[in-house]
Copies of this chain bind each other. A is one copy, B any other.
Amino acid sequence: MAISSICVKQLGQLFALPRGRVRQRAKFVTMGPKVASAMSPSSSVLRAVLNPRSVAIIGASESSQKFGGRVMNFIVKHGFKGTVLPINPGSPTILGFRAYPGISDAPGPIDVALLAVPGAQIAPTIEACGKAGVKACVVLTADFAEIGADGAARQDELVRIAHRHGMRLIGPNCLGFINPGLRLALTSSVALAIEPMPAGSIGLVSQSGSLMAALISHAQDLGSGFSAAVSVGNQADLEICDFIEYFLDDPATKAICAYIEGLKDGARFLALAARCRDARKPLLVVKAGRSDAGANITRSHTASLAGSDAAWTAACRKHAVVLLDDPEALIQCADFLVRFGAPGGEGIAAMSPSGGTIAVTADRIAAAGLRLAQLSASTQRKLHEIVPATRPANPLDVGGLAREQGLASAGACYELLADDPDTAAVLIVVATTPQLDDKVRLWAELALARGKPTAILLTPGTLVDSSRANLRELHCPYTNRMDDALRVLTAAIEYGKALNAPAEKTVLPAGFGAVAAFTAPAAELTESETKQLLGLAGVAATPERHARSAAEAVAAARATGYPVALKLISRTLTHKSDVGGVQLDLRNNDAVAAAWQRVADNVAKLEPGAALECVVQPMITGGIELIIGSQWDAQFGAIVMVGAGGTWAEILRDTQCALAPLTPRRALEMVQQLRIWPMLAGSRGQPRADIDKLVDVIVRASWLAATLGPRLAELDINPLLVRPTGQGAIALDARATLQPPQGATSKASS
C-alpha cells in the first residue's frame, strides 16, 4: 500500500507539530482523499518507512569493518527486493550497486536513508536528505541526548531540520530495523550475519539495538520471527508508541513486543494498550529501570526517565499488557499467544515421561503460584486405565508404559489431560524416553489441532535437537528451561484473565464533594487539613479538637472522652511519629498533661521556641490497620494503592496498585490480592472486616486522585482502621502533598 510522497509530506509536517495537536487534527487527515485506509496517519507514514521501495545508505562502503559497509553487506546478503542506493563520493560502485557521490545525485523517490557518517556530519546530511525528498532517516550514530544537555541540544537540532522538510527520524543512537518480508536488513547489527532473517508475525520495537539483535537470534533459534523489528534509540522523533500503533494497524503483525526504557507520552501508550486489548492483539513489554540501579542506567543509555514501577505494573494490569522481566521471554510468550491464544482459565495439567522430572515440576508449579487443574473423576479414572493407579493424575508421570502402546498411551494421556474441563493449559516436560521424537511430535500435533495452550519444555540438551527441529517445522512453540515454561504459562494465564475481566466503567461515588475547589495554604497538608479533604471525598476520619496548651489539651480530652490520642500538628515536622509527636492511649487528665509535656520537649529539641499545636482525638481500636495512598505518576497519571498499614506498612510492603479512578470490583480484587486478605476475610474466630466500606474508601481515594490530578502529588491514609462488618472504616491519620493548580485536572481518567 503505497501512498504518494506529497501526501507523506503533508503528514510529516503535521507530525512536526506538538503531539497533542497532531491527535486533535488526526480526524481531518484520515478523512483526506489520499489516505483511503483504516490506518492512522502515523501508521501510514510508518508503513512507507518500514516497507521502503528504495533505501539510500549514506557512508556506504564494501568493508564490513565499517558501519556503512556492514549495512551494505547485510543488504546484499539478505537480498533486499527494492532499490539500493549507496552514497559515497569515492566509489562509482559498491558491492555491485551503482553508487552516488551525494544523496542529491541519487534518483528519487527515496523512502529511507540510513546515515552511517560521523556525528559532525549528521546534521548537514539530514539537511541534504530533506532537500532530496527522503521520507525518513535512520541515524545510528550515538552521543546525543544520552550523554547530557549538549548532546540533547544537538539532537533537538536534528529533529528540527528533519521536520522542516516533513521528514521523520529513527534514532539517533539506534541500530536501525529489519523487515524480513522484504528481506531488508537496514541495520549494522552482527545478528544479521545469520541467514535467513527470521520472518514471522511478531512486531518488535526496542529502545536497545543490541537487545533487538539478541532477540533476532533467539527468534531464529526458536523458529519464530518478525513482521518487522525496529530499534528506536533515543526516540528523538519517531518513538515506541508510533511503532506500537503501526503494528496494531498492521494485519501481518499478530503480537507486539516492546523493550522500553521510558515513554515520551504515557497517555498515548495507555490508549494504544487499550486498543491492543480490544483488538485482542497481545502487547508484551519488558520495562527496564524498575529498580533504582536499572533506572540510573536507562537515563545514561537512552536518556529515558524510567517512571515508577508501581505505575507501570498498574497500567499494564489494567490494559492487559503482558509485563515480563526477561527480554528473550518476549519472543517465547508472544509466540505462545500467537499460536494458542489466551487460556480460558488457570488450571494447569502437567505431564512428563520422567517420574523425577514430574516431581520437580510439581514443586516448581507450586513455587510459581500456578494452580494445578483439579481433574474430574472421569478424567482420573480414564488416566488410570493407562498409567498405574498409584501415580497421582496431575501432574502425571507417563513414563515406563509398555513400549507397544507407548506412543498411543502418551497421546491418550495428553488428550485426557487437555480435554478436562478444569485444564486451561498443559505443560509437557519432555525427558528422555523411548520414541521421544514421535511422542513430542504427536503431542504437538494434538495440541495444535485442538488449539489447547500447551507449553512443551525440552529438558535434555542437544540430545533432543531433532525434536526441536520437528517443533519448529510444526510452528509449535517450545522452551528449553523450566523458568521459561513457567514464565510463558504465567504470562498466558494472566493475559487471559485480564482479557476476560469485565470492562471497568468507573462511576463517581455518591456524596463525593467539591474536592476540585479545595484550597490549601501550603504544599504539605497537616493531618487536619488532609482529613478535611478526605471529608469532602466522603471518607470518614477521627474527630479532633485542637489545643494550644496543656490545659486546652486536657479540656479537649475530657470533652472527647477517655482514652484519647494527642498528636502534634506541624507544617514542618510532618513525620510526627518519628519526632515523638504522637502520644497514644492516654487514660486520664494527668496522662494528657504529661503527654503534652513530652511532645513539647521533643519539639523544643528540634524547633526551639516554636509555638506548639496539637489535636486530641478519641482512641479508636478494634479493627485492622490498612494504608490507602495515591500518587501522581508523570507517565500514567493518578495511581491508587492499598496495603497492610500502620507500623506494618513499610515492613511488609504488602501493597496493590491500580490506575485511578477504579471500580468497586477492581478495588475488591486489589484487597483480595493482599497477603493480609485472610485477616480481613475473618479467620480463627476473628470477625470479618467491613470490606464494603474498605472498598468504598479505595474508590473514593481513587476519585480524589483522579479529580485533583497532578495537584495531588501524594496522599497517604495510614492507618485506615477497618472495623468489623457493619462498623465501617475510619482514617486515624493522613497526610497529603498538593501542588499549585495547573491547567489539566486529570491525565489518565480514560
Distance between Cα atoms of A367 and B309 in the complex (Å) = 12
Q: Which residues of B contact A206 (CB under 8 A)?
A: 356
Q: Closest CB of chain B to A305's CB: distance in Å? A: 13
Is the CB–CB distance between B194 and A297 below 8 Å?
A: no
A259 within 8 Å of B by Cβ? Answer: yes
Chain B residue, CB-CB nearest to A580: B685
Is the CB–CB distance between A142 and B400 below 8 Å?
A: yes
Chain B residue, CB-CB nearest to A460: B217
Is the CB–CB distance between B211 and A356 below 8 Å?
A: yes
User: Which of B363, B434, B578, B679 contacts A291 (CB under 8 A)?
Assistant: B363
A355 within 8 Å of B by Cβ? Answer: yes
Is the CB–CB distance between A301 and B651 below 8 Å?
A: no
A399 within 8 Å of B by Cβ? Answer: yes
Distance between Cα atoms of A190 and B390 in the complex (Å) = 26
List the one stretch of A53-61, A321-329, A489-497 in contact with chain B. A321-329
Is the CB–CB distance between B289 and A191 below 8 Å?
A: no
Is the CB–CB distance between B481 and A328 below 8 Å?
A: yes
A225 within 8 Å of B by Cβ? Answer: no
Is the CB–CB distance between B297 and A362 below 8 Å?
A: yes
Distance between Cα atoms of A392 and B355 in the complex (Å) = 47
Within 8 A of B (CB), among A329-381: 353-360, 362-367, 372
Given A190-B436, A291-B367, A363-B294: A460 and B218 within 8 A (CB)? Answer: yes
A290 within 8 Å of B by Cβ? Answer: yes
Within 8 A of B (CB), among A505-521: none
Is the CB–CB distance between A366 and B208 below 8 Å?
A: no
Chain B residue, CB-CB nearest to A479: B481
Distance between Cα atoms of A395 and B302 in the complex (Å) = 16
Given A356-B288, A360-B326, A685-B577: A432 and B399 within 8 A (CB)? Answer: no
User: Which of B191, B399, B652, B679 contacts A647 (CB under 8 A)?
Assistant: B679
A482 within 8 Å of B by Cβ? Answer: yes
Q: Closest CB of chain B to A685's CB: distance in Å? A: 5
Report how many residues on chain A are interfacial, defined by Cβ distance under 8 Å.
101
Q: Which residues of B contact A353 (CB under 8 A)?
A: 210
Distance between Cα atoms of A575 and B685 in the complex (Å) = 10
Q: Which residues of B contact A288 (CB under 8 A)?
A: 356, 359-360, 362-363
Distance between Cα atoms of A297 and B392 in the complex (Å) = 6
Is the CB–CB distance between A356 and B208 below 8 Å?
A: yes
Is the CB–CB distance between B363 and A325 below 8 Å?
A: yes
A451 within 8 Å of B by Cβ? Answer: no
Q: Which residues of B contact A463 (CB under 8 A)?
A: 190-191, 193-194, 213, 217, 220
A737 within 8 Å of B by Cβ? Answer: no
User: Which of B211, B292, B464 contacts A431 (CB under 8 A)?
Assistant: B211
A146 within 8 Å of B by Cβ? Answer: yes
Chain A 375-411 interface mask (CB, 8 Å, partner B; 1/0): 0000000000000101110010101100100000000
User: Which of B293, B363, B366 contacts A372 (CB under 8 A)?
Assistant: B293
Q: Which residues of B contact A432 (CB under 8 A)?
A: 189-191, 210, 213-214, 217
Q: Which residues of B contact A366 (CB under 8 A)?
A: 290-294
User: Which of B300, B580, B684 contacts A392 (CB under 8 A)?
Assistant: B300
Number of this chain's copies in the complex: 2
Q: Closest CB of chain B to A492's CB: distance in Å? A: 18
Is the CB–CB distance between B392 and A482 below 8 Å?
A: no
Distance between Cα atoms of A462 and B290 in the complex (Å) = 29
Q: Which residues of B contact A459 (CB under 8 A)?
A: 214, 327-328
A470 within 8 Å of B by Cβ? Answer: no
For A214, A353, A578, the residue with the greatest tally of chain B CB atoms inside 10 Å of its CB is A214
Q: Closest CB of chain B to A181's CB: distance in Å? A: 21
Is the CB–CB distance between A358 and B214 below 8 Å?
A: no
Is the CB–CB distance between A325 and B367 below 8 Å?
A: yes
Chain A 626-668 interface mask (CB, 8 Å, partner B; 1/0): 0000000000000000000001101110000000000000000
Within 8 A of B (CB), among A276-326: 286, 288-294, 296-298, 300-302, 325-326
Is the CB–CB distance between A359 and B297 below 8 Å?
A: yes
Q: Which residues of B contact A692 (CB under 8 A)?
A: none
Q: Closest CB of chain B to A459's CB: distance in Å? A: 5
A500 within 8 Å of B by Cβ? Answer: no
A207 within 8 Å of B by Cβ? Answer: yes
Chain B residue, CB-CB nearest to A486: B483
User: Which of B388, B392, B577 contacts A147 (CB under 8 A)?
Assistant: B388
Given A356-B208, A432-B213, A685-B580: A194 and B462 within 8 A (CB)? Answer: yes
A686 within 8 Å of B by Cβ? Answer: yes
Distance between Cα atoms of A575 and B325 in the complex (Å) = 43
Chain B residue, CB-CB nearest to A361: B294
Chain B residue, CB-CB nearest to A147: B390
Is the CB–CB distance between B462 and A261 below 8 Å?
A: no
Residues of chain A whose beta carbon lies under 8 Å from any beta carbon of chain B: 65, 142, 146-148, 189-191, 193-194, 206-211, 213-214, 217-218, 220-222, 259, 261, 286, 288-294, 296-298, 300-302, 325-328, 353-360, 362-367, 372, 388, 390-392, 395, 397, 399-400, 403, 431-434, 436, 459-464, 481-484, 575, 577-580, 582, 647-648, 650-652, 675-676, 678-679, 683-686
What are 20 A-to-B residue pairs whose CB atoms are below 8 Å? A189-B432, A191-B460, A208-B356, A210-B355, A211-B356, A211-B431, A214-B354, A214-B357, A217-B432, A222-B461, A261-B359, A288-B360, A291-B366, A301-B356, A301-B359, A327-B356, A575-B684, A578-B684, A650-B678, A651-B676
Given contacts A209-B356, A291-B365, A294-B363, 9 further A-B contacts (CB under 8 A): A190-B433, A214-B460, A290-B367, A292-B366, A293-B392, A297-B359, A300-B397, A301-B356, A647-B679
Report, nearest first, the 9 A-B pairs whose CB atoms are least far apart: A208-B356, A210-B354, A301-B355, A291-B366, A288-B359, A221-B461, A293-B362, A217-B463, A294-B362
